[in-house]
A and B are shown apart, each in its own frame.
Chain A
Amino acid sequence: MGSVLRLRKLCYVEPVKFQSFESIKNAGKQQQQQQQQQRQEERTVSEVENAVQKNGRDDDEDTKKKEEGKKKMKEWRCIDSCCWVIGCLCTVWWLLVFLYYSLPAALPGFQPPESPGARLGREGVRALHPVVLVPGISTGGLELWEGKPCTEGLFRKRLWGGSFTEILKRPLCWLEHLSLDNETGLDPPGIRVRAVPGLVAADYFAPGYFVWAVLIQNLAKIGYEEKNMHMAAYDWRLSFQNTETRDQALSRLKSTIELMYLTNGRKKVVVVPHSMGVLYFLHFLKWVELPPPMGGGGGPGWCATHIKAIMNIGPPFLGVPKAVSNILSSEAKDVAVIRSMDPGVLDSEILGLQTLEHAMRVARTWDSIISLVPKGGETIWGDLDWSPEEGHGCSLAKRRTLQSSGNNKNSNHTNGKRTFSAMKDLAKYGRIISFGKEASYIPSSQLPSVDLKELLLGKPSTISNSTCQEVWTEYNELSRESIRDVADNKVYTSQTLLDLLRFVAPKMMKRAEAHFSHGIADDLNDPKYNHYKYWSNPLEMRLPGAPDMEIYCLYGVGIPTERSYVYKMSPTGKCKSIPFRIDSMAEGYEDSCLKGGVYFVDGDESVPVLSSGFMCARGWRGKTRFNPSGATTYVREYQHRPPASLLDGRGSASGAHVDIMGNVAFIEDVLRVAAGATGEEIGGDRIYSDIMRMSERINIQL
């Protein structure tokens, strides 16, 4: 500090000196000028013939020059001061950066809370079972291996994940390379974009935005390292079977699990899939035991010998309504990640002109999204008048979040009663898409009955618009009339929804439905269920015969989660080729679950409780036809609490779809299981939501 003061003093003293010096100089100048003037006067005296005019002009010129000089100086100083300001800023910034780096990693006085890994490590919990992490949709990085000339210099650089700088630099090129072929759902010719392998694939989605990093770090604290921890990265744009066809991703996963099992003293593997990874791993479970041409040929005991537990995080077992709105109008972001990345950019009306169309066109080439369309039809998701969640009070959910910290069980009980009292305003969640707010709540008898099947048959001719072709989406092939017809049908349940999607995006659905199925099996012994398209649907597949295997459903609750939408038709613009959009004007009453055109239920912001919990809570509980060997299931819910302070980052008790991976309680559960604990030992079920009640209401043969 002293030195700074001294410096300042120096700088303030000096100018004074300068001033005095300058004044002397000025004085000198004055003298000179006077002399000049004198000389001029002499001249005027000598040159009497010359008029006074000329003299005056000379004088003028003199002053003019002076003025110009002054002006120049002034302007110079403008730039100078610009430079000066920039310089100051830079210096200060550097100083701060320097200080930041020279700071000790932990501030004295601020004691960061001990991480669960360190705590359990002290308790003597050590690495035992190898761990396999299966990332979800859009969290895994993708890098370029071969591209068009516009991607010069991007070889093996991340196109997805990382800093995303290429979107800004060459957006069209970027979109082109992330798209898949519209017919095959595989690489377009001349483009190879591949999943980044290894833990780096999905530890951070973007710099500073962790996905798996916190979990990895905590696992490392109890002794895990790369030899007993594996990230099963795959290209999340492809349909699951195509990852095997193109990249042999499933074979690699099988080989890695076998290797880890052998090199770690024949300890079974704990698998931790997240989000869509859950479905991917379901697919893997079936694939690995089936014979070679279609499957992995591991034989019927493979899962029983190699897998100890599957800890599904935020599992969208039965799909997510978000996927529907995404496909239909690319409005709801498929997972929370993107939303938190660029809040509002995609939604923004200004950029919306083309961005959304482009996003839709690209996203529609990704088969994997179809795996997230709600499964189980009206039996699970409810029909026009009924839904398993009905009676859910949104405001109550919120209130519960606030008081949740203490007596969870009690509050849960009382809430159950209160939700019934709030029944007067029953949201009809079964109507996943309704056109107009009215259609979302009027009794079904008042709805217009238009047969969509008929509508589908009368396929209209295209109104191809050449000016819009560059952002071609399949909507361009639909005529105005048929779009109106779609809107006239007013209400779609999860069953008719599929017809709707088939109608508006026939090519995509044709591609994807060869890979995914969304029904409920009547008879699981039907040999058709050996086809891979059924493997990722828990309602059309049997769990492998592994009675010792444990299945966990771990998910956050307490965040309003999109469940159904109120749509409207877009204002007709020429190139606005997405004809529908969510009617964000539709608001419910204060306590209503309708907000911004979206009905909300309890969930983890992306996946409703119903989808993530049902299979573990009922579908697979005990010996059912979906779980013939009776593998034990556990439901572990984590009540969402927003981060306590800024230092808490994204929260150590968050329940959001991705942020839950930093939830301390969740991490502890995973660590304990990885270190050998069973589901009973970590406390069995742990439920905050109404999942049990909701599951009971679903009428499904088990």
Chain B
Amino acid sequence: MPLTQRKKGAEADKAASDKAASSEEKIVQDGSEDEDRKKKESPAGKKKKKERGGEKGKWSCLDSCCWFVGCVCTVWWLLLFLYNAMPSSFPQYVTEAITGPLPDPPGVKLKKEGLTAKHPVVFVPGIVTGGLELWEGHECAEGLFRKRLWGGTFGEAYKRPLCWVEHMSLDNETGLDPPGIRLRPVTGLVAADYFMPGYFVWAVLIANLARIGYEEKTMYMAAYDWRLSFQNTEVRDQTLSRIKSHIEMMVATNGGKKAVVIPHSMGVLYFLHFMKWVEAPAPMGGGGGPDWCSKHIKAIMNIGGPFLGVPKAVSGLFSAEAKDIAVARAIAPGFLGNDIFRVQTLQRVMKMSRTWDSTMSMIPKGGETIWGGLDWSPEEGYLPSKRRQIMNDSQVSSESGTNSSSSRARVNYGRIISFGKDAAESPSSEIEMIDFRDAVKGRNLANTTCRDVWTEYHDMGIEGIRAVAEHRVYTAETVLDLLQFVAPKMMARGSAHFSYGIADDLDDPKYEHYKYWSNPLETKLPSASDIEIFSMYGVGIPTERAYIYKMSPSAECFIPFQIDTSFEGEDEDSCLKDGVFTVEGDETVPVLSAGFMCAKGWRGKTRFNPSGIRTYVREYDHAPPANLLEGRGTQSGSHVDVMGNFALIEDIIRVAAGATGEDLGGDQVYSDIFKWSEKINLAL
């Protein structure tokens, strides 16, 4: 508007001056006297000009700053206004214009096929993805009542980091609330639909389920405090009782239709625990009776389930380096790992996360039988490049094992932690391992200046640290001893709640204790032959499997070990990168952990699955998002983003609407999971 006005104004002026000019012409015709007068006048005009110039001069630094800010603001408001006025389907139009029409989201597509909501659905979120809010805090948390400390914008983590860390930590002895602090899980679907604004976790799945008629009465988010050990969620919050009651209620109010349970990540283990708990008799269990599961559960659709643990958990506990799941990594890529901030941040993070019992539920289970010994591992011979070729052929992967006789040096994945590259590669006979367990823990490193970021490493002393490094190589079994050594308090807490072995005799009455309930290798599945168990996970992303460590440059307040990022593989195709050996997986959970139970451990009637519950392995091959507009991808296979994978959502919706695993097409396998499972020598 001002533009046009100005134009008009200018035109008017022009017209006026033209008139003036013509009149002046007349005057000039009349005589030259006027001209002289004009010349006299002109200096005065110039003076005026000078004054104006002076005014203009005041247009100084501050003014132009203001001017600039004003411009920016106005433009910003304008854009904001345009953005808000824009129809919300606009981005979609743009995408369609660029890439052609998008496929319908699975919910819409299946609705057209006539699917409607049938079975109630229960979501079990994983570690880290659920929100936590404050119910009681110290003074520094004033005004944060019922505000999210975890999830949401994380504003408080930046505003008052120390206060935040203090409130997020649990008690180091009990693994429960520290005195005066009550941090509780957010309840309802909002607990984990978005982890933070714009970063979906369950939201896409929820939206698609809603399309075929689901709503809050048929969907339930079993939110729990993911920092606690599983049994403690019942002790403190009665979470397991709530889930039981809620499932019972949903089944009752939906005409006796059994529930479809969809656990994700650590939620998989949590729900394993729940199934044992609910049928166990009352003081320790929920007293639901031996047929509770068969009465209330139709299917368990595990998404990215770390059944046998994840190696990441080890490095996370050991040196706080690998972020325990992809989410945190996505938020702060490199921020935590950054050398500048490392001085205190990592220690604090370690101190905080070591009070969380739940992280210990994900330490690799099954020891060397599953994860491989010093010289052997189920995944050996895995070549990332080879798989890519197979993908190009897009053929079934079953025969891919034939030409895998590789000429390269095999990777010893069984050595989960090794100190130095030579320790990771040389044959086991050449490695000299000095037992660290007898090493004396000196207290000479205890330094009062570091006390505020105290970690258990300070109790170890130089001797202890050296002893750890001199052992050179740790397998899944000895890693437990290692953790026991470096973090005795944490492991004391943790081993009261979790167990990592393989049961010899499942009828042993000791397995009635809750610490075994979340380990699939030490529990029996409930006797419910109608249940179907799905293992759904992404494949095609290199996933951390083993680490090469080094000792940190000895500074007193450092964590004494760190991943030796200087080690790289010989060529592009190598599995070694930045000191980490990778295998096939979904970026967080290796295929072995996610798939083994459904591919072999529970397949058919085994001792872990006495009633012969049917199991299905559904893999989703990772394809990065085609363009920016696609967001995090509709074919992603990574640990969290797989929840936006259209194929996975379609599977879930079909099962929720009543389909069985056979209807879906049974197994869908891209990786070598069956071959690897075969190699594992486990009595079934």
Contact = CB atoms under 8 A, between A and B. Distances in A.
A644 interface: no
A68 B13 contact: yes
Nearest to B43: A30
B67 interface: yes
B237 A64 contact: no
A662 to B, nearest CB: 15
A585 interface: no
A243 to B, nearest CB: 11
B73 A87 contact: yes
A57 B35 CA distance: 11
Interface string B26-62: 0011001001001000000010011011101111111
Contact of B28 (A52, A80, A105, A247): A52
B210 A90 contact: no
A248 interface: yes
A420 interface: no
Contact of A11 (B38, B62, B245): B62
Given A67-B13, A227-B238, A252-B253, A60 B24 contact: yes
Interface stretch (B135-143, B431-439, B466-474): B135-143
A194 B215 contact: yes
A15 B58 CA distance: 5
B184 A19 contact: no
B60 A18 contact: yes
B210 A251 contact: no
Interface string B80-105: 00000001110000000000000000
Contacts of B242: 227, 259, 263
B484 interface: no
B66 A84 contact: yes
B376 to A, nearest CB: 48
B50 A23 contact: yes
A82 interface: yes
A57 B21 contact: yes
B344 interface: no
Contacts of A256: 245
Nearest to B191: A198
Nearest to B144: A105
A21 B53 CA distance: 10
A486 to B, nearest CB: 42
Q: Is the interface of B mostly helix, strand, loop or mixed?
A: helix
A60 B193 CA distance: 73
Contact of B241 (A18, A57, A156, A263): A263
Contacts of A412: none
Nearest to B9: A75
B88 A198 contact: no
B146 A216 contact: yes
Contacts of B193: 156
A90 B215 CA distance: 43
A7 interface: yes
A90 B70 contact: yes
Interface string B327-367: 00000000000000000000000000000000000000000
Contact of A251 (B21, B88, B185, B253): B253
Nearest to A247: B217
A198 B217 contact: no
B207 interface: yes
Interface in B377-420: none
Contacts of A441: none
Contact of A56 (B2, B24, B49, B210): B24
Interface stretch (A145-153, A467-475, A612-620): A145-153
A221 B71 CA distance: 48
A241 to B, nearest CB: 15
A578 B87 CA distance: 35
A499 to B, nearest CB: 38
B249 A252 contact: yes
B9 A71 contact: yes
A198 B187 contact: yes
Interface in A195-247: 195, 197-200, 203, 216-217, 220-221, 225-227, 247
A227 B252 CA distance: 22
A227 B237 contact: yes
Nearest to B17: A64
Contacts of B65: 87
Interface residues on B, range: 35 or more
A23 B53 contact: yes
A15 B59 CA distance: 7
Contacts of A23: 50, 53-54
Contact of A18 (B17, B57, B210): B57
Nearest to A229: B135
A61 B20 CA distance: 11
Contacts of A225: 135, 182, 184
A197 B88 CA distance: 26
Contacts of A195: 216
Contacts of A67: 13, 17
A572 interface: no
A152 B32 contact: no
Contact of B70 (A7, A82, A251): A82
A263 B288 CA distance: 15
B50 A145 contact: no
Contact of B60 (A14, A106, A216): A14
B154 interface: no
A72 interface: yes
Contacts of B24: 56, 60
Given A87-B66, A226-B187, A227-B238, A11 B57 contact: no
Contacts of A402: none
A88 B74 CA distance: 12
B280 to A, nearest CB: 17
B496 interface: no
Contacts of A1: none
Contact of A155 (B46, B58, B207): B207
A86 B146 contact: no
Interface in B168-221: 182, 184-185, 187-190, 193, 206-207, 210-211, 213, 215-217
Contacts of A90: 69-70, 73
Interface string A261-298: 01100000000000000000000000000000000000
A493 B193 CA distance: 52
Contacts of B54: 15, 19, 22-23
B492 interface: no
A105 B143 contact: yes
Interface in A128-148: 145-146
Contacts of A199: 146
Given A67-B13, A72-B10, A252-B253, A26 B62 contact: no
A125 B184 CA distance: 21
Contact of B210 (A155, A227, A248): A155
Nearest to A146: B210
Interface in A38-87: 52-53, 56-57, 59-61, 64, 67-68, 70-73, 75, 78-80, 82-87
A621 B148 CA distance: 45
Nearest to A21: B57
Contacts of B190: 198, 200
B14 A68 contact: yes
A71 B13 contact: yes
A646 interface: no
> Taking each of B60, B63, B213, B216, which has the highest tally of chain A beta carbons within 10 Å of its own beta carbon?
B216
26 contacts: A22-B57, A53-B25, A56-B28, A60-B21, A64-B17, A68-B14, A72-B10, A84-B70, A87-B67, A87-B71, A87-B73, A88-B69, A91-B66, A91-B69, A105-B142, A105-B143, A145-B210, A156-B193, A197-B216, A203-B146, A248-B217, A248-B253, A251-B249, A252-B253, A259-B245, A263-B241
Given A52-B32, A52-B35, A67-B17, 18 more contacts: A11-B60, A19-B57, A22-B53, A22-B56, A30-B46, A56-B28, A82-B70, A84-B70, A86-B70, A145-B215, A153-B89, A155-B207, A155-B210, A200-B190, A251-B249, A251-B252, A255-B248, A263-B241
Shortest Cβ-Cβ A-B pairs, 4 listed? A87-B70, A18-B57, A83-B70, A87-B66
